């Protein structure tokens, strides 16, 4: 079945550092790919998405590119801020399924000033 593998956490970085959180997936066909973010005390929020190969999703300075050849959707940000501290989830949606999201285990990111 479908699955998502995320980089193990937690990740701690200094402010203004470069961020990469790795995500790879296993799915039949061509799933849509998502990054969700969960800030402390809040629900999951969609951060960005990509629906086909080579698409780049971007939002709030974060980017991720749908790489079909490596089945990856790594999250990057050039300069992180303290306010980016949160848990990040990679997820996929099977286009031939029932629209359910399959999530990775999440990566906790802490940014220190």
Partner 1 sequence: EAGVAQSPRYKIIEKRQSVAFWCNPISGHATLYWYQQILGQGPKLLIQFQNNGVVDDSQLPKDRFSAERLKGVDSTLKIQPAKLEDSAVYLCASSLGGGRNTEAFFGQGTRLTVV
Q: Residue 71 to residues 14, 42, 96: CA-CA distances in angstroms?
A: 29, 30, 18
Rounded CA-CA distance 49/111 in Å is 23
Scanning 37-45, 55-63, 65-73, 77-85 for contacts with partner 1 by CB under 8 A, the matching segment is 37-45
Please count the residues of this chain forming the interface with partner 1, following the rule CB under 8 A: 25
Contact pattern for partner 1 over residues 11 through 30, marking x by CB under 8 A = --------------------
Please report whether residue 111 would count as binding partner 1 according to CB under 8 A: no
Please report whether residue 69 would count as binding partner 1 according to CB under 8 A: no
Residues making up the chain, counted from first to last: 113
């Amino acid at each position: 079945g479908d699955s998502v593998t995320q980089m193990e956490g937690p990740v701690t970085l200094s402010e203004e550092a470069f961020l990469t959180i790795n995500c790879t997936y296993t799915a039949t066909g061509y799933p849509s790919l998502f990054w969700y973010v969960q800030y402390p005390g809040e629900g999951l929020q969609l951060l960005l998405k990509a629906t086909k190969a080579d698409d780049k999703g971007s939002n709030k300075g974060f980017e991720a590119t749908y790489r079909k050849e490596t089945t990856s959707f790594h999250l990057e940000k050039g300069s992180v801020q303290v306010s980016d501290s949160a848990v990040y989830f990679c997820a996929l949606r099977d286009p031939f399924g029932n629209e359910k999201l399959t999530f990775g285990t999440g990566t906790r990111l802490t940014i220190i000033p």
